[in-house]
Structure 1
Amino acid sequence: MALVPAILVASVTLTFDARFRTNVTFVLSGPICLGISALFLYDRKVTKKTLMDIMLCILLPTISLTTYLFLYTPSVKEVLSSVASNRAASGGFGPNQVATALGLGMFAIVVRLFLKSPNVFLKALNLIILIAMSFRAIVTFSRGGVIAAILVIGAFLGNLFYRSSGKQKNQIIVSFALFVMAAAATWVISSNQTMGLIDKRYQNQDAIGREKQDLTTGRVELFVDEIEGFLSSPFLGIGASRTKDKRLDEEGELAASHNEIGRLLSEHGTLGILILLILIIKPFTYRSNNKKNVLFYALICFWFATINHSGMRIAAPSLLYALALLNVIHEKYPVHRKQLKN
């Protein structure tokens, strides 16, 4: 219901040339998806095995995406000309979204590496998949998805290590050492295949090594514009999709928001603050009574990191936010009683 006022305001504030239904649907589809997913999965009881099966279902499509990228662009060197995000290396899709999807896959394969790899063969297989997926994510030249994946994996490993017993911690340390070696190998391969351009990208340099002024590639400027929109209309906001429409009117540039927090404040006003408070506080109050979900902090971290660099253009952050609200229970094994013969 908190989204409705922004639609009404948009019906008044959007310009005549703007396609009302398309524009409003574009910016509100993500929040609506999150709301439906969260309501459906809230306090839904699942076993740890089911949670691992869900992560496998998330992983398999990203393996398919990785395979497609290798077939679409076998040689990355042939499509590189600068340090900008590369659509050709992203399979013809948006580099930001592809990197985000692959970052999600990186997280899913790391979960399997640490929790579902009981023997050397599975560890080796998962490491190979991780290296391939990480390489394709890095060479999109979109940093957001890769950095978000690193943060999410860090949140997962930190929580896992904290919850584990002494013997389990030793196993985690061994797997972590393998993980670090795989990460180092991935970066060396990526640097070699991009002729050092990826190093410049992450050092915020252009192709010839000059320091860039803006580390965020314009995202801070967009966020400042959104805060100005909030200050100009703090109660109900400037209306759904009005931020992009306003930017087109004033600057002649059609640039959509990359930060869902800024967009919520600008387009929904005070109700946007209320929405954010609910989204941030509710999972942690629920967590206080349901602490068995080992992926909780990683899932919340993925949602928060993704909406800050890519908005809610894809459904992944909505889904993972909802998965954090699952009630993970212990598996109950049936007890077979032998009947007594008379």
Structure 2
Amino acid sequence: MKKEEAAYIYLLLFHAFLGVLIFAMPFLSKLFTLTIFVFGIYYIIENKNKNNEALVISAYVVSFEVLLRMTDGMLINEFGKYSILIFMLLGMVYSGFSKNGILYWIFLLLLIPGIILASLTPELNVDVKKIISFNISGPVCLGISAIYCFQRKISFNRVLGVITAFCLPLMALAAYLYLYTPNVRDVITGTQSNFETSGGFGPNQVSTILGLGVFVFFVQFMFNSKSLLLQIVNAGLVVFFAFRGLVTFSRGGMITAIMMIIILLGVIYFRANGQIKSKIGLIILISFITGLGVWGYSSFQTSGLINKRYANQDAMGREKKDRLGGREEIMNQELEIFIDNIIFGVGTGMGKYKRAEITGTEVASHNEITRMLAEHGSLGLIDLLILFFTPLFLWVNNRQNILALSFLVFWLLTINHAAMRLAAPAFVYALSLLKVYTHEKPALHRE
């Protein structure tokens, strides 16, 4: 076994051991949070971001965030987003950014009226500054990450390094979830999202990061497994994360993972020659059969309840009235608020309280698209158009970033069911803007 392969295996095992430690001594979670942040700053400064260390450490934080949240390890509530902001800004200090990324400066500027409007809202029995900070942290993290990544030249091998950084902390999460619920059958009683199989934390967020885990380990299997041992390890981890993601009974993360993999295989297939196409076809067939196997095992472990969950039925097999757990009503209300406040919206974070005036119930939005429309009005619509179309235009001119469309889909689907509570959709979106190359590294130059 080569040194690189051995190092990867040892790092996976080390992070699994970290998960065991955090499970046994949850107070260590805060220590890890501080360690990650301090090391990240040192890592970027020491290397002067010559090899995009800012991307590597940010990917690491993204994958660790859910475990730190579920073990109360966050020093501040939005640690993931704020630390990535700092890493991105520090990276830009050393290696600059493209001046052509003006669209993302416009994106950030268009958020300002909503912030001002919220700050001028008549007094509520809440900390308005805290509400604004909570709701704006995701978009700002996305904007700064996008400015850093916009047309940044990076080798495909370095992108795989970022993918590896995603993978490592997920092993700690995997170990923690296994120890929390070693026997899934004991805790599955219905078709609702399951907190027991999600480590006692929000199934929606856990499913999101497990779905990302399915994808990144699939990428490792496809492009970063030069030996049979690594192929077995990475394929096995794809299966494990798929199973654990399914039994959270939160559908968003798994549907997103499937779509990301389908798009990646499609991009590779249509770019490949005849001989490679036959290999891709075989991988698609094996993936499909494996997927059926994982589904069958999950169905067995949940006594068929997972089938009913994805068929939108309750435990008795009765069709549920809504398909999104009541979120359709919230989305419709936000669209109505958008129409009534079409220019500037009701202000950052104020959508929740505007809906409370209408319905008498305060419920947080799970959909970032309708939230942006309701709270930022037509400016939010412009921002959404910038976010959706810019990566597509860049991909047309740089199809060497074969992961770009999958990254874009992760952002788009995730913000539709989990908003931007995690840093993951903001940072992963930014990766779709990278200018990837596979030949020798060109001379460093930032426009």
Counterpart pick for 1:235 among 343, 350, 373 = 343
Q: Identify the residue that residue 429 of structure 2 maps to in structure 1.
A: 321
Unaligned runs of 5+ in 1: 335-342
Does the CA-based 8 Å contact 1:299-1:324 persist in structure 2? yes
Aligned ranges 1:272-283 → 2 under 5 Å: 272-283=380-391
Measure the CA separation in 2 of the matches of 1:239 and 1:115: 45
Counterpart pick for 1:267 among 356, 375, 395 = 375
Q: Identify the residue that residue 100 of structure 1 maps to in structure 2.
A: 208
Q: Identify the residue that residue 319 of structure 2 maps to in structure 1.
A: 211
Measure the CA separation in 1 of the matches of 2:274 and 2:168: 32
Q: Identify the residue that residue 219 of structure 2 maps to in structure 1.
A: 111
Asked whether 1:304 is paired with 2:412, we answer yes
Mean CA deviation greater in 231-240 or 251-260:
251-260
Measure the CA separation in 2 of the matches of 1:136 and 1:316: 19
Counterpart pick for 2:234 among 126, 130, 137 = 126
Aligned ranges 1:17-36 → 2 under 5 Å: 17-36=125-144
Measure the CA separation in 2 of the matches of 1:121 and 1:179: 18
Asked whether 1:138 is paired with 2:246, we answer yes
Aligned ranges 1:1-342 → 2 under 5 Å: 1-13=109-121, 15-332=123-440
Alignment partner of 1:13: what SS? coil
Residue type at the aligned position of 1:105: G
Measure the CA separation in 2 of the matches of 1:18 and 1:249: 15
Percent identity between the two aligned chains = 42
Moved runs in structure 1, 4+ residues, more than 4 A?
Answer: none
Higher relative contact order (CA 8 A, sep 6+): 1
TM-score normalized by structure 2?
Answer: 0.72
Q: Identify the residue that residue 53 of structure 2 maps to in structure 1.
A: none
Q: Once the 2 structures are TM-superposed, how far is the Cα of residue 278 of structure 1 from its aligned partner? A: 1.1
Q: Deviations over 1:212-251 (max 9, x none)?
A: 1101111111110100111111111011111111233443
Residue type at the aligned position of 2:318: R
Does the CA-based 8 Å contact 1:113-1:175 persist in structure 2? no
TM-score normalized by structure 1?
Answer: 0.93
Q: Identify the residue that residue 27 of structure 2 maps to in structure 1.
A: none
Indicate how the Cα distance of structure 1 residues 270 and 129 shifts in structure 2: closer, same or farther if over 3 A, else same.
same
Q: Once the 2 structures are TM-superposed, how far is the Cα of residue 254 of structure 1 from its aligned partner? A: 2.6
Measure the CA separation in 2 of the matches of 1:163 and 1:192: 39
Measure the CA separation in 2 of the matches of 1:159 and 1:333: 24
Measure the CA separation in 2 of the matches of 1:14 and 1:285: 42
Does the CA-based 8 Å contact 2:207-2:248 persist in structure 1? yes
Alignment partner of 2:397: what SS? coil
Indicate how the Cα distance of structure 1 residues 15 and 251 shifts in structure 2: closer, same or farther if over 3 A, else same.
farther
Q: Once the 2 structures are TM-superposed, how far is the Cα of residue 14 of structure 1 from its aligned partner? A: 5.6
Measure the CA separation in 1 of the matches of 2:117 and 2:339: 16
Does the CA-based 8 Å contact 2:264-2:402 persist in structure 1? yes
Q: Once the 2 structures are TM-superposed, how far is the Cα of residue 281 of structure 1 from its aligned partner? A: 1.9
Q: Once the 2 structures are TM-superposed, how far is the Cα of residue 178 of structure 1 from its aligned partner? A: 2.4
Q: Once the 2 structures are TM-superposed, how far is the Cα of residue 330 of structure 1 from its aligned partner? A: 2.6
Q: Once the 2 structures are TM-superposed, how far is the Cα of residue 333 of structure 1 from its aligned partner? A: 7.9
Alignment partner of 2:278: what SS? helix
Alignment partner of 1:261: what SS? helix
Alignment partner of 1:269: what SS? helix
Measure the CA separation in 1 of the matches of 2:324 and 2:399: 36
Unaligned runs of 5+ in 2: 1-108, 443-447
Alignment partner of 1:288: what SS? helix
Q: Identify the residue that residue 339 of structure 1 maps to in structure 2.
A: none
Measure the CA separation in 1 of the matches of 2:280 and 2:173: 28
Aligned length: 334
Q: Identify the residue that residue 102 of structure 2 maps to in structure 1.
A: none
Measure the CA separation in 1 of the matches of 2:301 and 2:361: 34
Indicate how the Cα distance of structure 1 residues 208 and 283 shifts in structure 2: closer, same or farther if over 3 A, else same.
same
Does the CA-based 8 Å contact 1:63-1:105 persist in structure 2? no
Residue type at the aligned position of 1:135: F
Measure the CA separation in 1 of the matches of 2:288 and 2:164: 22
Q: Once the 2 structures are TM-superposed, how far is the Cα of residue 9 of structure 1 from its aligned partner? A: 1.2
Residue type at the aligned position of 2:417: H
Q: Once the 2 structures are TM-superposed, how far is the Cα of residue 177 of structure 1 from its aligned partner? A: 2.5
Does the CA-based 8 Å contact 2:119-2:129 persist in structure 1? no
Q: Once the 2 structures are TM-superposed, how far is the Cα of residue 30 of structure 1 from its aligned partner? A: 0.7
Q: Once the 2 structures are TM-superposed, how far is the Cα of residue 68 of structure 1 from its aligned partner? A: 1.2
Q: Identify the residue that residue 340 of structure 1 maps to in structure 2.
A: none
Alignment partner of 1:213: what SS? coil
Measure the CA separation in 2 of the matches of 1:180 and 1:52: 24
Root-mean-square deviation (CA), in Å?
Answer: 1.6
Alignment partner of 2:154: what SS? strand
Measure the CA separation in 2 of the matches of 1:83 and 1:250: 30
Does the CA-based 8 Å contact 2:346-2:375 persist in structure 1? yes
Does the CA-based 8 Å contact 1:96-1:310 persist in structure 2? yes
Does the CA-based 8 Å contact 1:127-1:179 persist in structure 2? no
Measure the CA separation in 2 of the matches of 1:139 and 1:274: 38
